[in-house]
């Protein structure tokens, strides 16, 4: 018995050592790369808002100009208002990447090799880690959603609260959280046979969260973006081609294969509806005119001189030539 269990125990120990080593490498790489990253203007703008604006103004005045919910800004208020240097925002983002990497390494059901490699890929580590934008919160939060997902019917409030927190990251995250919430309510009613009265508190809590997001981000009168583009068949076809078949450029055929594999994977896991709803919502955020006005925040031109004087205009004069 001991001879048979020894290789298995040795493999488990080796995997544990490799996992811890990868996490340490991830943390060291983050510490070394953050000082070498020159923040983009929108990264620093979030820091300035967190430093100089009140929490009330962040939530109810400037969020509608940012075009994004304010969880990221609220997180930054802690070090910013304590007098920390601006570089801290990238360390905050890197810390979130390391936390997300730890959850992926130690809690995910993926094969060992995939678990070890994913945290050091470009998007997982650099784009969602070293670059300090609101979507840095997505990595740890989505992994936490995945952690509580199996027990969503035994501990529903834990799951619903996690989804509500996810919606506060950005509009894109809000749609993903909403998609998962719709699927949860459908499964609870259709498969688990929960009564409407049992579902009502969760539905009400998420509805209140959604209403607050709409109220917070409703575009003010003194803001405008590029001219809205009319939806037509050519534009829809181009958008679908770029989003669905252009994900693995320059090989659309491989993109189609990846998409097919993703659909099959999510279908076998019983979560195809969540995947399709999320993809449809992200397409809508990019291509529906009203949502486009909210989502493309870097194209906005605040007309409030006090706002511009206090927080700085976005980009260079060339960037603002359309204003």
Q: What is the pLDDT of residues 153-185, one digit of tens each?
A: 999 999 999 999 999 999 889 999 999 999 999
Residue 295 is predicted with a pLDDT of: 47
Counted domains in the chain: 1
CA distance 69 to 56: 13
Evaluate whether residue 192 is within a structural domain.
yes
Say if residue 140's pLDDT is above 90: yes
Residue 237 is predicted with a pLDDT of: 72
Say if residue 289's pLDDT is above 60: no
pTM, two decimals, is 0.81
The whole-number average pLDDT for the span 90-110 is 93
Distances (CA, A) of 267 to 3, 170, 220: 40, 27, 41
Residue of higher predicted confidence among 312 and 131: 131
Q: Range of 164's domain?
A: 154-218
- Six-digit token pair at 235? 């534009």
| Burial per residue of 100-139, b for 16 or more beta-carbon CB atoms within 10 angstroms, e otherwise | bbbbbbeeeeeeeeebbebbeeeebbbebbbbbbbbbbbb
Residue 311 is predicted with a pLDDT of: 41
How much is the mean pLDDT over the chain?
Answer: 83
Evaluate whether residue 5 is within a structural domain.
no
pLDDT above 90 coverage of the chain, percent: 55
CA distance 70 to 132: 14
DSSP state of 62: I
Evaluate whether residue 295 is within a structural domain.
no
- Six-digit token pair at 149? 């997902």
Evaluate whether residue 323 is within a structural domain.
no
């Amino acid at each position: 018995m001991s001879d048979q269990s020894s290789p298995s125990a040795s493999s488990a120990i080796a995997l544990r050592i490799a996992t811890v080593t990868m996490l340490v490498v991830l943390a060291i790489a983050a510490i070394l790369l953050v000082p070498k990253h020159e923040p983009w203007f929108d990264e620093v703008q979030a820091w300035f808002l967190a430093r100089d604006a009140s929490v009330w103004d962040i939530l109810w005045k400037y969020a509608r100009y940012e075009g994004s919910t304010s969880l990221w800004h609220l997180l930054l208020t802690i070090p910013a208002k304590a007098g920390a240097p601006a570089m801290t925002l990238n360390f905050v983002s890197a810390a979130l990447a390391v936390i997300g990497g730890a959850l992926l390494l130690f809690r995910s059901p993926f094969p060992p090799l995939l678990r070890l490699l994913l945290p050091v890929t470009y998007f997982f580590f650099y784009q969602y880690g070293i670059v300090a934008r609101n979507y840095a919160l997505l990595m740890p939060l989505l992994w936490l959603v995945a952690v509580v997902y199996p027990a969503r019917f035994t501990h529903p409030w834990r799951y619903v609260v996690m989804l509500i927190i996810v919606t506060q990251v950005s509009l894109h995250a809000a749609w993903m959280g909403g998609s998962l919430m719709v699927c949860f309510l459908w499964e609870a009613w259709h498969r688990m046979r929960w009564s409407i009265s049992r579902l009502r508190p969760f539905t009400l809590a998420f509805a209140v969260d959604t209403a607050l997001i709409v109220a917070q981000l409703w575009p003010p009168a003194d803001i405008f973006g590029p001219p809205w583009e009319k939806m037509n068949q050519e534009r829809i076809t181009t958008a679908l081609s770029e989003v669905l078949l252009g994900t693995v450029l320059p090989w659309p055929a491989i993109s189609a294969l990846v998409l097919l594999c993703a659909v099959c994977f999510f279908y076998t896991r019983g979560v195809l509806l969540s995947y399709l709803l999320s993809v449809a919502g992200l397409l809508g955020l990019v291509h529906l005119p009203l949502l486009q006005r909210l989502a493309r925040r870097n194209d906005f031109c605040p007309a409030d001189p006090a706002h511009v004087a206090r927080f700085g205009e976005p980009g260079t004069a060339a960037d603002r030539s359309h204003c």
